[in-house]
Amino acid sequence: MTESLTAEILLQAYAAGVFPMAQSRDDPELFWMDPALRGVFELENFHISRSLARKIRKNAFEIKVNTSFMQVVAGCADRTETWINAPLLDLYADLHHKGHAHCLEVWQNNLLVGGVFGLTIGGAFFGESMFSRQKDASKIALAYLMDRLRIGGFRLFDTQFITPHLASLGAVEIKRADYHFQLQDALMLDADFLHQGQTPSPYLVLQRNTQTS
């Protein structure tokens, strides 16, 4: 499958509700996944905790979008076990070049300390992975990402699976049939990840989150 897999085929697969993974970074092969239970974030119910709000309000981090996409992907793959192999790295790079893969970055003192990346089709954002090299950097990335998705008109935030970390941030599991229904609804929309333009102030992000949570 890997040799014939292109960015276009990958987008078709995501639109059909399936996604590829590798057993490890060293395994060149990919396999398709369509889990019975799918992880999602409910965009209108995302809640920023008081401790995270205080950290965002301090404005100690600089938030950027799409300035270092492959660095973010590499940061996500920089762990003992990862499903991101070389073919996926190439596909993500191609999708980013075509405007279907985006990242949100967290910087501190000119160092990339956290981030999240994913793919977009219509009003669906398919979150691939996130990483953190400073305490709460990935949570801050997620808060800004949620705001960007809402402003951009997205309806579905797919996390693929649920982990304890994602669950602690508010992700929930839904049945496969419910996911496919939400996906088809989201695909009909014309959302725009870059609609928001420059990163908003932390106070605006917190204000909008309070209004929607």
213 pLDDT band, cuts 50/70/90, is: low
pLDDT band at residue 18 using 50, 70 and 90 as cut-offs: very high
Q: What's the whole-number mean pLDDT along residues 81-108?
A: 95
The domains of the chain, with CATH numbers, are 2-212 (3.40.630.70)
Cα 56 to Cα 208: distance, rounded to the nearest angstrom: 13
The yes-or-no verdict on residue 210 having pLDDT over 80 is no
The pLDDT value recorded for residue 28 is 87
- What pLDDT score was predicted for residue 2? 57
Q: What is the pTM of this model?
A: 0.93
pLDDT for 174-190, tens place per residue? Answer: 999 999 999 999 999 99
Alpha-carbon Rg of the chain, whole angstroms? 16
The pLDDT of residue 119 is: 98
More confident residue, 82 or 213: 82
Q: Give the pLDDT score at 172.
A: 94
What pLDDT is attached to residue 209?
80
For residue 211, what pLDDT is reported? Answer: 64
What length does the chain have? 213
